[in-house]
Amino acid sequence: MEPAQRIRLAVATVSELRQAAADDSALGAAIKTVKRIQSQRFAGTYADLLSGSRYREAARFFLDELYSESDYTARDAQFARIAGAMQRLLPHHAVATAVALAELHVLTEQLDHDMAQAWLALVPASGVEVPTRHYIAAWQTVTRREDRLAQLNGVLDIGRELDRLTRLPGLRMMLKMMRGPAAAAGLASLQHFLETGFDTFSAMARQSGGVKGFLELIEQRESNWIQMLFEQSPVTCELELARTLSLAT
């Protein structure tokens, strides 16, 4: 399948999941809660990076663009609109990054959707929720360990692709020249992602071992988190989640 088709298919799949959430208010609320907890967990896990100097901008980019509870509807729609043009005009690595982002987004939305459905089944009839407890229970109900690992690998692959993009001659100038036309065409969200990602990884690439060190931290901490949730008791996981959320900045 051509890259443009893969992007459009991914966007359409995410749109279907979002519509299902919009049609079911309880499901929609549960999805928002799951996403909020995950965003706060990431902020807590990387509180040292977010408050530091070397990797602060990279951690903020990952939090805002990949782990955020934000609504990416506008960015997704923009990807779909220019998928064909991207395939024709952008370098191979730039197109590969766009495809990887779109397909990662599908997997993330599917996992969040399943988590939310499990959450609703776990919440008692009284409606009283214990967010940390229900999050852990939902995760361990859904399982899908291979998909969790694929999700992590997808994030790491996007990081590596962004690192490659910083080494392509003239790409930063091309992105700068696209700024005006992108805004006029209603592609501001997509332009922001591309420029922010490029600049963030370009700055890290100028540091010795910068990108490699950052991605290794992500891989180690996320792998440890996944392993704990699948192998430790619910009580242990809940206590660790509560501790991590308390560190969120």
In a domain, 17, yes or no: yes
In a domain, 249, yes or no: no
The range of the structural domain enclosing residue 85 comes to 3-244
Burial class (CB in 10 A: 0-12, 13-18, 19+), 184: exposed
Query: Which residues make Cβ contacts (< 8 Å) with residue 181, sequence separation at least 6?
Result: none
In a domain, 114, yes or no: yes
Domain count of the chain?
Answer: 1
pLDDT (tens digit, 0 to 9) for every residue of the chain, 249 residues total? 777 788 888 888 988 999 999 999 999 999 999 999 999 999 999 999 999 888 999 899 888 887 777 777 777 777 676 666 665 656 666 777 778 888 888 999 999 999 999 999 987 655 677 899 999 999 999 989 999 999 999 999 888 888 887 777 676 776 776 666 666 656 667 777 777 888 888 888 888 888 899 999 999 999 999 999 999 999 999 999 999 999 986
pLDDT tens digits for 35-44? 999 999 999 9
In a domain, 73, yes or no: yes
Which ranges constitute the DSSP H helices of the chain?
Answer: 3-23, 25-45, 47-50, 56-65, 73-81, 83-89, 92-122, 131-142, 145-165, 171-184, 188-205, 210-231, 234-247
